[in-house]
Structure 1
Amino acid sequence: MEKTDVEILFEQIDNITETVQQYSNETYLDSLAVTLEVIFYQHPPEGMDEKLQEQLQNFIPQLDVSKYKTTEIRKALQLAMLKGMKGATQQQHLMTPETVALFVGYLAGKVTAGKKNLRMFDPASGTGNLVMAVLDQLETAGSVFASEVDPTLINLAVLNANLQKKEIEYFHQDSLRPFLLDPVDLVISDLPVGYYPDDIRANDFELKADEGHSYSHHLFIEQSMKYTTPGGYLIFVIPEFLFDSDQSDKLHAYLQENAHIVGVLQLPETAFKSEKNRKSILILQKKGPNTTAFNQPLLVQVPSFKETKAMDDILAQMNAWFAENMNS
């Protein structure tokens, strides 16, 4: 069977990364960052092992990313990053599945339809796969911002954006600290799940825990609301248990006061490695002077992405819901 362009490009990136890894004794993800620099600048970084430099010089003429489509580059890089994350134990080193990222992009297009010069922000961008998948589907994005605290992931995200010729302004910081950022029209995020270790910083949030560590996924929702314009939208990939946890009463009250729930989509179990990793998508609108609650929020049980007929039916129902409820 003939290889696709995505497979060909992935294999080339993978070969170079493994070569870098042999010489540098770094992780696959850190070696991948070196590879992407070499591809982008078309020469090896200065100060590296001479033998490795020679090897990389041999790879460079064979690798011309300009002949690939942006989506092919994104998917090939995604495969390389997934390979690097296979051995990673940290939760934040898990990537948003492609099908889920595409779904978020579809929803982003629906809630921002007709909006010119859209300002978008992902406060937990990881390697940037979600924000770039959404950008591929949004025609009206003006300014795009993203934040990530992990140095390896943000390095990969910036190189990823450069190779795809996407203009994204990155913040390298703890995303629960203040940003030098004007409010945006749309926030998208695959929420980091777990406890936030900085209790002093958490004290500034309404959604802080009454005792012990606060949930970072709750604080991320509040932080995102802070940087959204009144009437703006937020699309979160959330853990299935978000509204059933021990601190969920506080979250319910906070959302009731500050947001309208646009919809909740339960994603198919098949999109995730296991039942405990299962996620949903939560769509919110920040309350503003001209906003009103939705009569009937969009509640959807998404079928397996492989079930084409069921998927078409669900999309038709969702399109009808958006046509009826988002005409304001």
Structure 2
Amino acid sequence: MNKSNVETLFEWIDQTTETIQQHENEPYLDSLAVSFETLFHQNVSEEIDDILTHKLQNQLKNIDTAAYNTEDIRKATQLAILKGMKGSTQQQHLMTPDTVALIVGYLAEKVTEPKENLRIFDPVSGTANLLTVVLDHLKQQVDALASEVDPTLIKLSLLNANLQKKQVEFFHQDSLTPFLLDPVDLVVADLPIGYYPDDVRANDFELKADTGHSYSHHLLMEQSLRYTKDGGYLIFVIPSFLFESDQSDKLHTFLHEYAHIVGVLQLPESAFKSEKNSKSILVLQKKGENTVTPKQPLLVKLPSFKNTKAMEDILSQMNAWFSTYNSK
């Protein structure tokens, strides 16, 4: 049986990473960054010792990157990152699944349709899987920006974008600290859920908790709105319980004041391990002089991604909704 390009490339990345891991005694994800770097530059870093350099040069003889398209590269790098994250228990180290990223990409394309140039920002980019999928959907001239606090993840996301020949400007910082960033047309984010430990920094936000730690996902929504142009859009992957949890009244009031709710799409529960992990997608428009609340927001409960017929039906209904919405 012939192997697909994705499998062949993944095997090369995986073998190379394991070679580095055994030699350097580093975690898989850190070794993976070295693999990506070697693959991207088609050369071995001068900082690597002679024995490993020789092994990596031999590995490079077995790969021709010109044989792979962007999607092959994205999927193969994704598989390798997923393997590295398998042992990781940290919630923020989980990657946005492809199926979810594709829906976000579809929504991004719809809300930005009339624009010719676009600035897009992901404040919690992780390994940049969500951002690169969204960039594949956009037809415009796009300036892409992303932020990530974790040093391993930002290294992987930078190399991931480079391998896919996507230009992204990365900020290595806590996304709740101020950015040197002009406002953007679109924010996309798979919000990490949890408490924000810095109560002093949280004090700068309207959505800070009255007592105890504030929710980082609430603060990130507020921060994202700060860096969005009036009339710009925000697409968040959120926990389905977002508007039922404590502090949700405050969030509801805040969003009502500063944004229009364009739509809420409930993702199929079958896509998640359990009901309590289930997620939805929230689409907002930042209020501006000429913006109005949609008469009827887009409220959708998505069927199982495996049910192709039901998905096609829902997509055609969504297309119809957007053609009305965009003609307003």
TM-score of the two chains, using structure 1 as the length reference = 0.98
- Return the alpha-carbon distance in structure 1 between the equivalents of residues 64 and 224 of structure 2: 38
Name the structure 1 match of 2:262: 262
Deviation digits for residues 89-133 of structure 1 (CA, Å, limit 9, x no counterpart):
111100000000011000000000020111000000000000000
Q: Secondary structure at the match of 2:167?
A: coil
Name the structure 2 match of 1:115: 115
Alpha-carbon distance, 1:325 to partner = 1.4
- Return the alpha-carbon distance in structure 2 between the equivalents of residues 133 and 196 of structure 1: 28
Contact 1:263 1:282 (C-alpha < 8 Å) held by counterparts? yes
Deviation larger for 41-50 or 224-233: 41-50
- Return the alpha-carbon distance in structure 2 between the equivalents of residues 142 and 136 of structure 1: 11
Name the structure 1 match of 2:63: 63
- Return the alpha-carbon distance in structure 1 between the equivalents of residues 275 and 81 of structure 2: 23
- Return the alpha-carbon distance in structure 2 between the equivalents of residues 195 and 247 of structure 1: 12
Deviation digits for residues 60-107 of structure 1 (CA, Å, limit 9, x no counterpart):
121122221111100110000000011001111000000000110000
**Following TM superposition, where does structure 1 have runs of at least 4 consecutive aligned residues deviating by more than 3 angstroms?**
none
- Return the alpha-carbon distance in structure 2 between the equivalents of residues 262 and 279 of structure 1: 17
Deviation digits for residues 41-64 of structure 1 (CA, Å, limit 9, x no counterpart):
112212323221111010012112
Name the structure 2 match of 1:169: 169
- Return the alpha-carbon distance in structure 1 between the equivalents of residues 102 and 141 of structure 2: 16
- Return the alpha-carbon distance in structure 2 between the equivalents of residues 198 and 79 of structure 1: 34
Alpha-carbon distance, 1:141 to partner = 4.1
What are the equivalent positions in structure 2 for 1:176-187 lying under 5 Å apart?
Answer: 176-187=176-187
Name the structure 1 match of 2:221: 221
- Return the alpha-carbon distance in structure 1 between the equivalents of residues 201 and 219 of structure 2: 10
Name the structure 2 match of 1:134: 134
Name the structure 2 match of 1:248: 248
Alpha-carbon distance, 1:36 to partner = 0.6
Alpha-carbon distance, 1:25 to partner = 1.0
Q: What residue ranges of structure 1 are gaps of 5+ in the alignment? A: none
- Return the alpha-carbon distance in structure 1 between the equivalents of residues 247 and 141 of structure 2: 35
- Return the alpha-carbon distance in structure 1 between the equivalents of residues 240 and 36 of structure 2: 35
Name the structure 2 match of 1:306: 306
C-alpha root-mean-square deviation of aligned residues, in Å? Answer: 0.9
Q: 1:60 and 1:122, CA in 2 relative to 1: closer, same or farther beyond 3 A? A: same
Alpha-carbon distance, 1:40 to partner = 1.1
Q: 1:141 and 1:123, CA in 2 relative to 1: closer, same or farther beyond 3 A? A: farther
Letter in 1 for 2:175: S
Alpha-carbon distance, 1:275 to partner = 2.5
- Return the alpha-carbon distance in structure 2 between the equivalents of residues 68 and 274 of structure 1: 36
Q: Secondary structure at the match of 2:40?
A: helix
- Return the alpha-carbon distance in structure 2 between the equivalents of residues 174 and 223 of structure 1: 11
Contact 1:148 1:171 (C-alpha < 8 Å) held by counterparts? yes
Alpha-carbon distance, 1:276 to partner = 2.6
Letter in 2 for 1:41: H
Quick one: percent identity of the two aligned structures? 69
Name the structure 1 match of 2:294: 294
Aligned residues: 328
- Return the alpha-carbon distance in structure 2 between the equivalents of residues 53 and 298 of structure 1: 54
Letter in 1 for 2:318: M
Q: Secondary structure at the match of 2:61?
A: helix
Letter in 2 for 1:262: V
Contact 1:40 1:163 (C-alpha < 8 Å) held by counterparts? yes
Deviation digits for residues 127-170 of structure 1 (CA, Å, limit 9, x no counterpart):
00000000011111421100000000000001011111100000
- Return the alpha-carbon distance in structure 1 between the equivalents of residues 123 and 272 of structure 2: 22
TM-score of the two chains, using structure 2 as the length reference = 0.98
Q: What residue ranges of structure 2 are gaps of 5+ in the alignment? A: none
Name the structure 2 match of 1:75: 75
Q: Secondary structure at the match of 2:127?
A: coil
Deviation digits for residues 190-241 of structure 1 (CA, Å, limit 9, x no counterpart):
0011000000000000000001000000000000000000000000000111
